[in-house]
Chains A and B, each alone.
Chain A
Amino acid sequence: MSAGPPAAPVGARLPRLEDPRLVSGRGCFVDDLQLPGMLHLDILRSPHAHARIHAIDAAAARALPGVAAVYTGTGLAQFLRVLPSAGGMEGFNAPEHHALAIERVRFVGEGVAAVLATDRYVARDARELIRVSYEVLPAVADPEAALAPDAPLLHEALGTNRAFEMRIGSDVREALERAAHVVRGRFVNQRIVPNTMETRGAVAHFEPWDERLTVWLSTQAPHLMRREFARFLAFPEHRLRVIAPDVGGAFGAKNNPYAEELLAAALALKHRAPVKWIEERQEHMLVTSHARAQTVELHAGVREDGTLLALHYRLVADMGAYYHAITHIGPMMTAALMTGAYRIPYAATDIVSVFTNTTPTDPYRGFGRAEAAYFIERTMDLIARELGLDAVELRRRNLIRRDEFPFATPTGHVHESGDFQLCLERALERFDYEGARREQARLRATGRCIGIGLTTHAWRAGFPSVPGGKGYVISGWEKTSVSIDPGGTVRAVIGTSPHGQGIVTTTAQIVAGELRIAPRDVRIIHGDTDAVTQGNGTMGSRSLVVGGSATLLAARQLRDKAVRLAAHLLRVPAERVTLEAGVFSDCGDPARRVTLAAVAAHAFAGPQDLPEGLEPGLEATAFFEAPNFTSCFGTHACVVEVEPQTGEVRILRYVAVDDIGRAINPMIVEGQLHGGLAQGIGQALMEEASYDAAGQPLAASFLDYATPRATDLPRFEVELTETPSTVNPLGARGIGEAGTVAAPPAVVNAVLDALAPLGVRHLDMPLTPHKVWRAIREADA
């Protein structure tokens, strides 16, 4: 251990410990693995949205030199189970989902045949040689259309395209009837593609000598995958090892045990050879979970004074053709958070979840909460406009006040704590809201089309366990073990599985803060189920609020034991021992000292000289589970300019003020915000995974699916407030999803504010130049 750590590791803008390797091209991602005798898996996919498979002729493919095997759905069904999914929930219509389609395909991209070959190029050759005879069936890609009585049925055995229906909330009818104003609207939160820069991939390897299966997987939840792979393969979980090596982004999309990944593992077992599968970008766009795809029809009841009395949504949620792991949670989360940051006494959502001939949907950064924020923040602007109120003034009248926490909403969510006004007032000051409105009026007078939009969003992070959860369960706890070995190496073994969030660095900062050492002297182990016995992974902005809290508790326990040992060695009571810069000393006589490393060495030296009742060794484990979600909130404000001749939208200014509870590393926090904002702005202005009426995807490559580039984005002005959370010992709040939650409504509100004088009342995302230009022309006509 080196001396001279920074005074306070927690709160420091420390460069990341992860980075030197990654900037040197020395990361280890799944595709970097090459094992001797490895076979390459490639999947032939359906070109049709809905079709019956009459025959598959793989003779030519099988005959190609280098091809080890070709499988079809019916062939696999002889030795494989159905895919894991949300289907286990009570009252849900649960279609069977197979690793490869059997008899029928239900979306473009669904796997039809699998090739194993000695070389990736040969595997692709073989894929092209497979002949499939299809009978094309009528398809339905639009969820509303799928609800029509005469709509093509995806799953005939279910007799309906409805996946499930559910009502969440209170009675609203009477309250809507007595409201002074009822505002109606319809908002679409469009389907988008996660587009992690590293596509998915797996390498599976069976070791016959100890009958163990190892799967290297680009995943955000190796322990959940271990459980699901074991179930799917009917393989003993204790002989299965899942390793998440470096993972090139996940954003919620690498949370599902996918067909190709399970297939790679199954075929590695069957063929007794390592199997590698690496997703192509176009495959990613077709088969990795899509996201959002929710539409609400809303009724908002407002009192004379502009406060909200009641809110009702009819929410249509597009599941895609099948469920993925937690597809069904999205609309439930949207419903739970439908009232946003506001005091709305009566609120309810009627969820209608629908199967369509499209790619299954599942989490993406902000899952459920981004949709909820979009709907309520757009609703607030709609109300403001219909009542002739300023958007800020309307929000001020409705925001939950700081003295009202904990605040229970009618949809079953409890905001544990918060200070919504703090973020609003800080943002308005930084943004100079009054000044911005004056400038807008001045520029409008010169003919420029300027808009201002804002959000006062509230969302939640760090989910707790759901009692009696069924189907695909993700527990809310997280685990960390902190140890110091006799040589003085400090290790933290964490159950989260970071892939860009900087959790290695922030974990080191938390441990270093407790042990008064330098963060670079803390070694972090994660992502390997053999090295990390339990964990739940990285998702839902939980890694710091839940995992970081487990780390804090474990480090404290370790420190307490080390203090007892140090006191014993210094022959003083524990209360007199202080710890600074990795050295314990007697506060009464600072010359008497013993290093943390020496204490560690002593802890392992044998039982003969330990304080009574103390075990040898220096290691502590803590599990932490929060009693509730951590509340997250902020205010974002932006200025946009629309070019009426082209419909182009430019963001002139973007101010974000979010509450982080407690910032462990403000640099990393800001980076998380920036990234989320880019994705949120991408959804607002550019991104859409659209389909034509026949279910053909219209955006299935980077040529036609627009993700933001450097030139598409403004400079972000980010400010953090710190109102400690009450549900975790760090006091931290989630930040990972703030940008995708807040940016879409902030930007859309601003664009519609800009277009208001031109008579444009409503537009759905993405606000592409063509869509905006057309709306201006139509309003003009």
Chain B
Amino acid sequence: MTDKQRVCVTVNGRRYERWVEPRLTLVDFLRHELHLGGTHVGCEHGICGLCTVLIDGRSGRSCLTLAVQVDGAEVTTIESLRDPSTGALHPIQQAFVDAHGLQCGFCTPGFIMTTVELLRENPDPSDEEIKRALDGNLCRCTGYQSILASVRLAARRLREGREA
């Protein structure tokens, strides 16, 4: 064990200051220190994408990131997506429900966070672009087909929402 270090980080718009061991991973920090359990651990070696969160707006693996590395950063997790006042699902979350984009639901937060980044950068992605964007996320239940449909549906609704 090493001496603890100070981490100041903004998570989902809220500022936290904590003293942590340098080896503490970001995902363990989120889950067990901040009690944000929506980000899941699938492999702990950066392959499955379950632990995907946004770090300063870019998707990142919170299992391969140390908590001390996000000092000063802004982290966004699945818990931030619902409308805080109405509780309504984010259009991407709603699209995953409507198009059956999940079964056991364990990988889903990672897929949704990856999709947040994708649709922000590319509001009208082709099927190939969606597949490529999601290629770092593993799902064992759905066969991906309905996840692709969910992303297409979300993209369409977000575009229509913007135009409206």
A and B associate in one complex: yes
Interface residues, chain A, with chain B CB atoms under 8 Å away: 15-16, 18-20, 22-29, 31-32, 34, 120-122, 125, 195-199, 246-249, 251, 280-282, 499-502, 667-668, 670-671, 674-679, 701-703, 707-711, 713, 715-716, 739
Residues on B with beta carbons closer than 8 Å to the beta carbon of A29 = 37, 40, 106
Tell me the bound Cα distance from A703 to B48 in angstroms.
10
Residues on B with beta carbons closer than 8 Å to the beta carbon of A121 = 21, 23-24
B146 within 8 A of A: yes
Give the contacts of B72-97 with A (CB-CB under 8 A).
Answer: 77-79, 81-82, 89, 93-94, 96-97
How many whole Å from A728's CB to the nearest CB in chain B? 23
B42 within 8 A of A: yes
| Contact in complex: A702, B43 (CB < 8 Å) | yes
Give the contacts of B19-43 with A (CB-CB under 8 A).
Answer: 21, 23-24, 28, 31-32, 35-43
| Contact in complex: B104, A197 (CB < 8 Å) | yes
Tell me the bound Cα distance from A713 to B135 in angstroms.
11
How many whole Å from B17's CB to the nearest CB in chain A? 21
Instruction: Add 4 more A-B contacts to A197-B106, A199-B42 (CB < 8 A).
Output: A27-B105, A246-B104, A500-B103, A502-B103
Q: Which partner residue on chain B sits nearest A65 by CB separation?
A: B1
| Contact in complex: B104, A701 (CB < 8 Å) | no
Stretch with Cβ within 8 A of A (4 or more), from B3-11, B54-62, B107-115, B156-164: B107-115
| Contact in complex: A710, B140 (CB < 8 Å) | no
B147 within 8 A of A: yes
Q: Which partner residue on chain B sits nearest A194 by CB separation?
A: B140
Q: Given A15-B98, A248-B104: A23 and B89 within 8 A (CB)? A: yes
Q: Which listed residue, A24, A500, A502, touches B81 by the CB 8 Å rule?
A: A24
| Contact in complex: A678, B142 (CB < 8 Å) | yes
Tell me the bound Cα distance from A713 to B145 in angstroms.
9
Interface SS, A side: loop
Q: Given A702-B47, A709-B135: A23 and B105 within 8 A (CB)? A: yes
Most chain A CB within 10 A, of B35, B41, B143, is at B143
Give the contacts of B135-152 with A (CB-CB under 8 A).
Answer: 135, 137-148
| Contact in complex: A23, B112 (CB < 8 Å) | yes
How many whole Å from B104's CB to the nearest CB in chain A? 3
How many whole Å from A710's CB to the nearest CB in chain B? 4
Q: List 22 A-B contacts (CB under 8 A).
A: A19-B96, A20-B97, A23-B89, A23-B102, A23-B108, A24-B81, A24-B82, A25-B37, A25-B38, A25-B39, A31-B31, A32-B37, A197-B107, A198-B104, A249-B140, A674-B143, A674-B145, A675-B103, A675-B141, A678-B143, A707-B138, A710-B134
Tell me the bound Cα distance from A676 to B81 in angstroms.
30
Residues on A with beta carbons closer than 8 Å to the beta carbon of B145 = 674, 713, 715-716
B45 within 8 A of A: yes
Q: Which partner residue on chain B sits nearest A285 by CB separation?
A: B43
How extensive is the interface on chain B, given as a class? 35 or more
B132 within 8 A of A: yes
| Contact in complex: B102, A25 (CB < 8 Å) | no
Interface residues, chain B, with chain A CB atoms under 8 Å away: 1, 21, 23-24, 28, 31-32, 35-45, 47-48, 50, 77-79, 81-82, 89, 93-94, 96-98, 100, 102-109, 112, 130-132, 134-135, 137-148
| Contact in complex: B48, A20 (CB < 8 Å) | no
Q: Given A671-B142, A702-B45, A710-B131: A25 and B78 within 8 A (CB)? A: yes
Q: Given A15-B100, A702-B48: A677 and B105 within 8 A (CB)? A: no
Residues on A with beta carbons closer than 8 Å to the beta carbon of B79 = 24-26
Q: Given A26-B38, A501-B103: A711 and B131 within 8 A (CB)? A: yes
| Contact in complex: A197, B23 (CB < 8 Å) | no
How many whole Å from A438's CB to the nearest CB in chain B? 28
Tell me the bound Cα distance from A756 to B145 in angstroms.
31
| Contact in complex: B38, A280 (CB < 8 Å) | no
| Contact in complex: A16, B104 (CB < 8 Å) | no
Residues on B with beta carbons closer than 8 Å to the beta carbon of A34 = 32, 35
Kindly count the residue-residue contacts between A and B in the assembled complex, taking CB atoms under 8 Å apart.
177
Residues on A with beta carbons closer than 8 Å to the beta carbon of B98 = 15
Tell me the bound Cα distance from A248 to B93 in angstroms.
18
| Contact in complex: A281, B42 (CB < 8 Å) | yes
Residues on B with beta carbons closer than 8 Å to the beta carbon of A701 = 43, 45, 47
Tell me the bound Cα distance from A710 to B1 in angstroms.
40
How many whole Å from A133's CB to the nearest CB in chain B? 27
Tell me the bound Cα distance from A703 to B145 in angstroms.
24
Q: Given A23-B93, A25-B78, A29-B106: A675 and B143 within 8 A (CB)? A: yes
Q: Which listed residue, B38, B43, B102, B112, touches A281 by the CB 8 Å rule?
A: B43
| Contact in complex: A24, B38 (CB < 8 Å) | yes
Q: Which partner residue on chain A sits nearest B63 by CB separation?
A: A281
Q: Given A248-B40, A702-B47: A22 and B108 within 8 A (CB)? A: yes
| Contact in complex: B89, A20 (CB < 8 Å) | yes
Q: Which partner residue on chain A sits nearest B136 by CB separation?
A: A709
| Contact in complex: A281, B135 (CB < 8 Å) | no
Q: Which partner residue on chain A sits nearest B38 by CB separation?
A: A25
| Contact in complex: B140, A246 (CB < 8 Å) | no
Residues on B with beta carbons closer than 8 Å to the beta carbon of A16 = 97, 100
Tell me the bound Cα distance from A26 to B78 in angstroms.
9
Tell me the bound Cα distance from A708 to B134 in angstroms.
12
How many whole Å from B40's CB to the nearest CB in chain A? 7
Residues on B with beta carbons closer than 8 Å to the beta carbon of A246 = 104-106
Q: Given A24-B93, A121-B21: A667 and B140 within 8 A (CB)? A: no
How many whole Å from B108's CB to the nearest CB in chain A? 6
Residues on A with beta carbons closer than 8 Å to the beta carbon of B97 = 15-16, 19-20, 23
| Contact in complex: B135, A19 (CB < 8 Å) | no
Tell me the bound Cα distance from A32 to B97 in angstroms.
22
| Contact in complex: B148, A710 (CB < 8 Å) | yes
Residues on A with beta carbons closer than 8 Å to the beta carbon of B81 = 24
Tell me the bound Cα distance from A677 to B24 in angstroms.
38
How many whole Å from A718's CB to the nearest CB in chain B? 9
Residues on A with beta carbons closer than 8 Å to the beta carbon of B103 = 249, 500-502, 671, 675
| Contact in complex: A710, B40 (CB < 8 Å) | no
How many whole Å from B127's CB to the nearest CB in chain A? 9
Q: Given A702-B45, A711-B135: A24 and B78 within 8 A (CB)? A: yes
Tell me the bound Cα distance from A716 to B144 in angstroms.
10
| Contact in complex: A23, B96 (CB < 8 Å) | yes
Residues on A with beta carbons closer than 8 Å to the beta carbon of B42 = 197-199, 281
Residues on B with beta carbons closer than 8 Å to the beta carbon of A501 = 103
Residues on A with beta carbons closer than 8 Å to the beta carbon of B24 = 121
| Contact in complex: A22, B102 (CB < 8 Å) | yes
Sorted from nearest, which 10 A-B pairs have the closest CB atoms? A25-B38, A248-B106, A22-B105, A500-B104, A678-B143, A674-B143, A25-B78, A702-B47, A500-B103, A281-B43
Residues on B with beta carbons closer than 8 Å to the beta carbon of A713 = 143-145
Tell me the bound Cα distance from A624 to B71 in angstroms.
58
Residues on A with beta carbons closer than 8 Å to the beta carbon of B82 = 24
Q: Which listed residue, B50, B94, B108, B146, touches A671 by the CB 8 Å rule?
A: B146
How many whole Å from B14's CB to the nearest CB in chain A? 15
Residues on B with beta carbons closer than 8 Å to the beta carbon of A500 = 103-105, 141
Q: Which partner residue on chain A sits nearest B21 by CB separation?
A: A121
| Contact in complex: A679, B140 (CB < 8 Å) | yes
| Contact in complex: A251, B140 (CB < 8 Å) | yes
Tell me the bound Cα distance from A134 to B2 in angstroms.
32
Q: Which partner residue on chain A sits nearest B142 by CB separation?
A: A675
Tell me the bound Cα distance from A35 to B31 in angstroms.
14
Tell me the bound Cα distance from A676 to B148 in angstroms.
17
| Contact in complex: B109, A709 (CB < 8 Å) | no
Residues on B with beta carbons closer than 8 Å to the beta carbon of A708 = 143-144
Residues on B with beta carbons closer than 8 Å to the beta carbon of A251 = 140
| Contact in complex: A197, B48 (CB < 8 Å) | yes
Residues on A with beta carbons closer than 8 Å to the beta carbon of B140 = 195-197, 249, 251, 675, 678-679, 707
Residues on B with beta carbons closer than 8 Å to the beta carbon of A19 = 96-97, 102, 105
How many whole Å from B65's CB to the nearest CB in chain A? 16
How many whole Å from A773's CB to the nearest CB in chain B? 23
